[in-house]
Amino acid sequence: MSDDISIDAEDVVGVLTERIEARYDISMEHLQAAVTAAPTANPDATDIVKWHGHLVAAQAALNRAEDDLLTALETQPSEVDDPTMGLAHRVNAAVATRDGRAIVVRSLLDPDALGKKDLAAERLARLRPRTGPAVQTSAPQRPPGTAAPASASQAGRAVR
């Protein structure tokens, strides 16, 4: 993940697209077509294509927001007015959205991502036969000389 810090923010989509293409050894266009043709054939590929689409859309929204802000700033006097400040906030929100979607794509590509190893271990555990019950099925042994606690029904009768 730390290697992405040096990546130019404008190229986030390009870098992640290259990683997807390298992982599946196919162009993004062909992968999208394959997922469209058979969406259940490879759930991982389907998720990556879906989130890559969200990432591309977020980058396009960010580009539009930045263009709108630059246009507004070119016509501004030295002080920024409220509508222009609103455009700046829109850019910040678009960056956060794009970065969040990039994180999702990156984690989908990472075989060591949080939860993936646990999921693999869970699948393996389902395949292995159990050697005994998961929980104790008999009452624990009491040391000699200790009385068993009265059940709730016996306690109720004693009070009457």
pLDDT digits 0-9 by tens, 34-44: 999 999 999 99
Tally the domains of the chain.
1
List the domain range (segments joined by +) for residue 93. Answer: 49-110
Alpha helices by DSSP H, listed for 1-151, are 12-24, 28-37, 43-74, 82-109, 116-127
Read off the pLDDT of residues 49-83 as tens digits, 9 standing for 90 and up: 999 999 999 999 999 999 999 999 998 877 888 88
Read off the pLDDT of residues 104-156 as tens digits, 9 standing for 90 and up: 999 999 987 776 666 666 666 666 666 656 666 666 677 777 776 665 555 55
CA distance 108 to 88: 30
**18 in a domain, yes or no?**
no
**117 in a domain, yes or no?**
no
**122 in a domain, yes or no?**
no
CA distance 143 to 77: 87
Instruction: Using alpha carbons only, give the angle 103, 108, 114 rounded to the nearest 5 degrees.
Output: 80
User: pLDDT-derived band of residue 4, with 50, 70 and 90 as boundaries?
Assistant: very low
